[in-house]
Chains A and B, each alone.
Chain A
Amino acid sequence: KQEVTQIPAALSVPEGENLVLNCSFTDSAIYNLQWFRQDPGKGLTSLLLIQSSQREQTSGRLNASLDKSSGRSTLYIAASQPGDSATYLCAFLQLAGGTSYGKLTFGQGTILTVHP
């Protein structure tokens, strides 16, 4: 069974800092990886999607990497802003054998607070 761990559970930084959120998984047979953002009481917003054949994806100040051999993914946020404050979730998709179907397995999230 896929286990997903996110470290740290919570992080508080001053505005302008660069930061790294970590996500580790136990089964390297993943199809793709998504990083999501969740504001309090809201749904999930997809930030970045990395296919298993890719090493990283970038969008603006966000960069996500994937290392299947070590079972790790990181989300790098450059020049953090108070508006980045949210919970960040990583999720892995594994396909059921012989099908194109899979379900996401989520970590428990990292709560990020960026203070002015």
Chain B
Amino acid sequence: DTGVSQDPRHKITKRGQNVTFRCDPISEHNRLYWYRQTLGQGPEFLTYFQNEAQLEKSRLLSDRFSAERPKGSFSTLEIQRTEQGDSAMYLCASSLVVASYGYTFGSGTRLTVV
């Protein structure tokens, strides 16, 4: 297992287009998280899955954002009708149910909306 994988690494899209990102967590991790990081800031929580259930969504996650984790394995994050303010690094992390082992992050997807 090579850790948390995210695809693509970079995405440039025109305003108004839809984009989808993928995250493959560490296989034995039940929990999966999406965070967003803008330049010069720390990551901010977007949403969280335990297995296939989405258990919490941040107010940052507007109606244009949707996340899924079918079958409790990989997850996708879709942004519809992208806006320039969506430009950011989107980070995925996974963890065991026992939080004491900490989080493992992926390399992120850098989104640029032009």
Query: Which residue of B48, B89, B105 is within 8 Å of A46 (Cβ)?
Result: B105
Residue B40 interfacial (CB < 8 Å): yes
Query: Which residue of B42, B93, B105, B110 has the most chain A CB atoms within 10 A of its CB atom?
Result: B42
Residues of B within 8 A of A51 (CB): 100
Give the interface SS of chain A, mostly helix, strand, loop or mixed: strand
Query: Which residue of A36, A42, A101, A108 is within 8 Å of B99 (Cβ)?
Result: A101
Q: Is B42 a contact partner of A103 (Cβ separation < 8 A)? A: no
Task: Give the residues from 1 to 56 in chain B that come closer than 8 angstroms, CB to CB, to chain A.
Answer: 4, 6, 31, 33, 35, 40-45, 48, 50, 55-56
What class of interface size applies to chain B in its complex with A? Answer: 20 to 34
Query: How many A-B contacts are there with CB distance less than 8 Å?
Result: 70
Q: Using an 8 Å CB-CB cutoff, how does the interface string of A70-105 with B read, 1 for contact, 0 for none? A: 000000000000000000010101010000111111
Q: Is A93 a contact partner of B99 (Cβ separation < 8 A)? A: yes
Q: Identify the closest chain B residue to A39 (Cβ).
A: B107
What class of interface size applies to chain A in its complex with B? Answer: 20 to 34
7 sampled A-B residue pairs with Cβ under 8 A: A41-B110, A42-B107, A44-B91, A91-B103, A95-B99, A100-B98, A106-B44
